[in-house]
């Protein structure tokens, strides 16, 4: 098996982290990170590409291309091994904490000689960290909380959905040669933002042979347990995979049980007890007689319930809703008529206007909003008023050439600290819609940060709040805001909130999506694509929307442009 894109990107990011801890030139550090992002976004495995094809990829030069080839040939990078010999591995563990990162790790190492989680915990408890510039009491408190959580889960790495998919899909193809009726359960099937391990179920006429086949998978790094009906392995990526061979008569019960969530299953068992049933991973029983178990639908029906989609199984009222016939008819990716956030090579995107339009049209879309950054985001080459006017002219010309498709004139304009927008109103009013976002000053107090967004929403050109909480999964929790106030103001001003489909963000969270739905606020699902490949990430945003109970009508870009344009107009 070739080394996965996720593994290669992880190695490059690890080099970047170690260089950052050492205080190396930031341009050099950033070159590794941007190359890693490019590799993560590829649909095919980079090791299967020729040297010329690799070098032609954005952000990958001669030096990094050589390291990619070295990984493909040897499984590691000699430069990384050298850096690891120079820098304690425990510093990398510290850096994984959300409150830390390479620069803070370096500061604590330089100032307090902290080289381990134990040392970090001790320094935080003694109040030493809060005394350092750029930290404070709140950060120190959060560090202690994170250490506790990290220790409780045994340091188990969690994988973002797209990362897990890249690992799981070839494994399923391999297992399918020996195992039938393969299903992935657990949080992966419920489409949670991250997964800690993978549960796979299947049937087989020869379980022993199937387990032998499983543990011989080339990506297996360690066999943790092997039995006739269940085996556990840890893959080279660090992801744990459990395989269970189940009886066909119990396959539905097993899938329901191992999909979870635990809280959902407990509530189902209580519902069954009320009817005198016993429920477990083998089926529903009464007086030792099996009543159901072959399919999940059969299990739910025996309990007097309608089938509940996996994304809803979090014990958040879905069982009561099923009982009374009140489950939502969840949105599907095929309901999306267009994407409302994308970037081109006019700023930090990888493809041209025309290339983005062509791919969006091939996906069956009717429109695509071009939302390059505004001038505040100087590192991304953000556009000023004159440059945006030039792009508007380009879009107008392109729209005359492309049939049955429309590029929407837009921009991702920064919300400045005082709540004003980064571009003047005369320019913004020429656009089809305006995406507004926060990229700077993320550590403002909650009230001030909330006021900043509320004031921005009062601008008559404001259409959609992009990645509303600013979180980066596993790296940044986002800024503090009063979501009740934001939702209320959005309704008042005729604005909308975005569900950002970037797997690194998935912002809003399912909790906030449900909160917006219950308040009657519609949302947009956008990819924030920085390349044509990223447009395919729309499925992750739809899955996140499903976890938040959204139906087709709850999402504004399930409408054609005529109807959407009416929604976007201010009353």
Most confident listed range (63-72, 125-134, 502-511): 502-511
Cα(51)–Cα(482) distance, rounded to whole angstroms? 50
pLDDT reading at 570 higher than 70: no
* pLDDT over 70, % of the chain: 98
- pLDDT of 389-446, one tens digit each? 999 999 999 999 999 999 999 999 999 999 999 999 999 999 999 999 999 998 899 9
Q: Which of the two residues, 150 and 454, has the higher pLDDT score?
A: 454
Burial class (CB in 10 A: 0-12, 13-18, 19+), 177: exposed
- pLDDT of 80-110, one tens digit each? 888 888 877 777 778 777 777 777 888 888 8
Task: Tell me what pLDDT residue 380 has.
Answer: 82
Give the Cα-Cα-Cα angle 382, 483, 439 (nearest 5 degrees). Answer: 15
- Mean pLDDT, to the nearest integer, of 128-144? 85
Task: Tell me what pLDDT residue 571 has.
Answer: 45
Task: Tell me what pLDDT residue 541 has.
Answer: 98
Domains detected in the chain: 5-152 (1.10.150.110), 159-245 (3.30.460.10), 250-323 (3.30.210.10), 333-568 (3.20.20.140)
Cα(130)–Cα(354) distance, rounded to whole angstroms? 51
How far from chain centre, in Å, is Cα 335?
20
pTM for the whole structure:
0.80
Cα(382)–Cα(384) distance, rounded to whole angstroms? 7
Task: Tell me what pLDDT residue 382 has.
Answer: 94
- pLDDT of 296-347, one tens digit each? 999 999 999 999 999 999 999 999 999 999 999 999 999 999 999 999 999 9
Task: Tell me what pLDDT residue 155 has.
Answer: 54
Neighbours of 273 (CB within 10 A): 11
Which range among 30-34, 255-259, 451-455 shows the weakest confidence by mean pLDDT? 30-34
- pLDDT of 195-212, one tens digit each? 989 999 999 999 999 999
Task: Tell me what pLDDT residue 327 has.
Answer: 98
Task: Tell me what pLDDT residue 46 has.
Answer: 87
- pLDDT of 498-543, one tens digit each? 999 999 999 999 999 999 999 999 999 999 999 999 999 999 999 9
Q: Which helix (H) or strand (E) holds 180?
A: strand 180-184
Cα(162)–Cα(5) distance, rounded to whole angstroms? 11
Burial 385-406 (b: 16+ CB within 10 A, else e): eebbeebbebbeebbeeeeebb
- pLDDT of 346-356, one tens digit each? 999 999 999 99
């Amino acid at each position: 098996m070739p080394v996965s894109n996720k593994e290669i990107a992880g190695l490059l990011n690890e080099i970047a982290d170690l260089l950052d801890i050492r205080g190396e030139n930031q341009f050099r550090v950033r070159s590794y990170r941007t190359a890693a992002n490019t590799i993560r976004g590829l649909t095919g495995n980079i090791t299967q590409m020729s040297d010329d094809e690799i070098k032609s990829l954005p952000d990958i030069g001669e030096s990094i291309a050589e390291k990619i080839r070295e990984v493909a040939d040897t499984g590691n990078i000699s430069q990384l091994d050298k850096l690891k010999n120079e820098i304690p591995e425990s510093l990398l563990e510290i850096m994984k904490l959300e409150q830390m990162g390479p620069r803070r790790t370096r500061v604590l190492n330089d100032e307090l000689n902290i080289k381990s989680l134990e040392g970090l915990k001790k320094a935080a408890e003694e109040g030493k960290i809060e005394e350092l510039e750029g930290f404070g009491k709140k950060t120190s408190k959060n560090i202690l909380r994170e250490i506790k959580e990290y220790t409780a889960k045994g340091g188990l790495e969690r994988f973002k959905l797209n990362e897990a998919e890249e690992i799981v899909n070839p494994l399923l193809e391999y297992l399918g040669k020996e195992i039938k009726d393969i299903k992935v359960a657990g949080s992966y099937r419920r489409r949670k933002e991250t997964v800690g391990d993978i549960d796979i179920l299947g049937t087989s006429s020869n379980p022993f042979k199937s387990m032998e086949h499983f543990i011989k998978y080339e990506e297996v790094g360690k066999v943790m347990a092997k039995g006739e009906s269940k085996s556990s392995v840890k893959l080279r990526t660090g992801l744990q995979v459990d395989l269970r061979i189940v009886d066909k008569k119990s396959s539905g019960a097993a899938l329901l049980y191992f999909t979870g969530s635990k809280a959902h299953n407990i509530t189902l068992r209580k519902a069954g007890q009320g009817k005198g049933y016993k429920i477990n991973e083998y089926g529903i029983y009464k007086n030792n007689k099996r009543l159901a178990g072959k399919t999940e639908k059969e299990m739910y029906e025996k309990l007097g319930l309608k089938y509940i989609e996996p994304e809803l199984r979090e014990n958040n009222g879905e069982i009561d809703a099923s009982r009374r016939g009140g489950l939502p008819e969840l949105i599907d990716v095929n309901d999306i008529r267009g994407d409302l956030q994308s970037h081109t090579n006019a700023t930090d995107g990888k493809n041209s206007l025309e290339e983005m339009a062509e791919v969006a049209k091939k996906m069956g879309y009717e429109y695509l909003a071009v939302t390059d950054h505004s001038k505040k985001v100087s590192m991304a080459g953000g556009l000023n008023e004159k440059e945006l006017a030039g792009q508007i002219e380009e879009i107008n010309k392109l729209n005359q050439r492309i049939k049955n498709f429309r590029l929407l004139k837009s921009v991702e304009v920064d919300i400045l600290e005082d709540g004003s927008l980064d571009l003047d109103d005369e320019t913004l009013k020429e656009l089809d819609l305006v995406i507004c976002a926060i990229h700077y000053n993320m550590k403002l107090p909650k009230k001030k940060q909330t006021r900043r967004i509320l004031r921005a929403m009062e601008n008559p050109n404001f259409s959609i709040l992009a990645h509303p909480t600013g979180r980066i999964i596993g790296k940044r929790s986002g800024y503090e805001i009063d979501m009740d106030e934001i939702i209320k103001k959005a309704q008042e001003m005729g604005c909308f909130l975005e569900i950002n489909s970037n797997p690194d963000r998935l912002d809003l969270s399912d909790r906030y999506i449900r909160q917006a739905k219950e308040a009657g606020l519609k949302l947009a699902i956008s990819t924030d694509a920085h390349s044509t490949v990223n447009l395919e990430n729309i499925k992750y945003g739809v899955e996140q929307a499903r976890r938040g109970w959204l139906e087709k009508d709850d999402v504004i870009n399930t409408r054609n442009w005529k109807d959407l344009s009416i929604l976007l107009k201010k009353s």
